[in-house]
Structure 1
Amino acid sequence: MNNDNISHQGTPKSSKPSKPRSSSPRSSSPVNRTKAVEVAAQLFLQQGYAYVSMDEVVRVSGVSKSNIYYHFKNKEELLQAVVQFWIAQYESELYLLLSQRERGVEERMNSFLELLSAGIEHRNFKGTCPFVTLYMQAPESASLAKESISIFFRELVPMVEKLFQQGVERGEFRKGIEPGAVASLFVAALEGSLILAGTSRDLGIIEQSARTFCQMLR
């Protein structure tokens, strides 16, 4: 669940033609951008998007203000990068789960939920679902970030559907269930369990909800 060169001017003393110097600031390094995004991803969830300033991202990340503004014109652009960061984290884990066909589906689901639980605990139960949290906190002007989250959820259901289809093929779940409908219901149940886990500070709710869900499919 893990990116300033100052342009010099003047006449070269040597008669040899000098190599052109890059006018790009050191901020073009992907390391600075990645660091800023990773820090902002945690701050937005822990403190709330509206309460995190660009100056705080500068202070916590150790990336200079000029570097951050080189990559992000404003906080909304940084928010979009944060949303893409979380999407990449989740999708990489989900693709990995889908590829591990030698493992049971419920076992793979539990592994994924353990990762979610570890992240929630690390954030002290704040922002239990990064996508719902950021969607609710994002201003209306951050339409790109909101749309990215909407697309993520639309694409999430077919991925989960494949997982349940594998479960049917493996004999873990009974034949006759509709994997697509089951996937939609599971995502909704998961989001609900994440919210309840956050409000009650009880991670066991997430595992219990998933276990009960799978039992109903047998």
Structure 2
Amino acid sequence: MAKTTCNKSRWVRRKEARPQELLASALALFIEQGYASTRLEDIARRAGVSKPTMYLYFKSKEELFKAVVRGRVVPVIAEIETLLAGFEGDSAELMRRVIMLRWVHAGAKKDAGLIRVITAEANNFPELATVYRAEVIGRDMRLIAKVLDRGIARHEFRQVDLALATEVLTSAMLMLTMWNSAVQPLGHLVDDPVMFLEALVDLMLGGLLPR
């Protein structure tokens, strides 16, 4: 009886873990093969389940992609937002922390290769690109804009075009992520991403600090 109970408990844990296993497999294959070339049966096989079993959790590849973004990428940004919520120092240091935390927790990870997939296939799958922009890039931009606005309100930064400054900073970070996740010969065009970001922050703060 004890053995049967143990097996049943293990089966329950396995069932509960299945959605995350499917998301992890989907994310890895999207990055390796691209969205268009990844088949649902490939995802199911890597996750160790049958295709009919996968349909119990996700009805289509598009639904699975959106779940990957919301379940594997967006929480990273939420974690950074939580880490910075109680920051009480000056806005220059806050900006530095935002950019470095974003890189360490997201940009430097293998999962960041998803932005390369989106960029390459946006014309063919505009709805997926729209979801990624709204829920990942848009949230990144709001975080950067919040820090800029904080610095301006506290007279720690000079008055700048908030939207334009946000676009400039976010674009540089996205480009670094794409370079770092690209396959050779385009990969790793930046030798040291951390030094790149430190230089970016120094140049940016040089333009933001009151003259």
Q: TM-score of the superposition, structure 1-length normalised?
A: 0.67
Whichever residue aligns with residue 108 of structure 1, its letter is V
Pick from 91, 105, 108 the counterpart of residue 98 of structure 2. 108
Aligned residue in 1 for 2:167: 184
Q: Name stretches of at least 5 consecutive residues in structure 2 with no aligned partner.
A: 1-11
**Counterpart check, 1:216 vs 2:207:** yes
Q: Spell out the pairing of 1:142-153 with structure 2 (5 A cutoff).
A: 142=125, 144-152=127-135, 153=137
Aligned residue in 1 for 2:58: 72
Question: Percentage identity across aligned positions?
Answer: 19
Task: Count how many residue pairs are aligned between Structure 1 and Structure 2.
Answer: 185
Q: Which has the higher helix share?
A: 2
**Counterpart check, 1:59 vs 2:45:** yes
Whichever residue aligns with residue 171 of structure 2, its letter is A
Pick from 75, 83, 87 the counterpart of residue 69 of structure 2. 83
Contact 1:33 1:71 in 2 (8 A): yes
Instruction: Write out the 4+ residue segments of structure 1 that deviate beyond 4 Å after TM superposition.
Output: 168-171
Pick from 181, 196, 204 the counterpart of residue 192 of structure 2. 204
SS in 2 for 1:174: coil
Contact 2:115 2:178 in 1 (8 A): no
Are residues 111 and 83 of structure 1, via their aligned partners in 2, closer, same or farther at CA, if it must alter by over 3 Å?
closer
Q: Name stretches of at least 5 consecutive residues in structure 1 with no aligned partner.
A: 1-25
**In the TM superposition, what whole-angstrom CA distance separates every residue of 1:17-64 from its partner, at most 9, and x where no partner exists?**
xxxxxxxxx8xx553122201221122112222232222212221233
Contact 2:23 2:67 in 1 (8 A): yes
SS in 1 for 2:44: helix
For the pair shown, the structure with the greater C-alpha radius of gyration is 1
Are residues 108 and 154 of structure 1, via their aligned partners in 2, closer, same or farther at CA, if it must alter by over 3 Å?
closer
SS in 2 for 1:51: coil
Contact 2:25 2:46 in 1 (8 A): yes
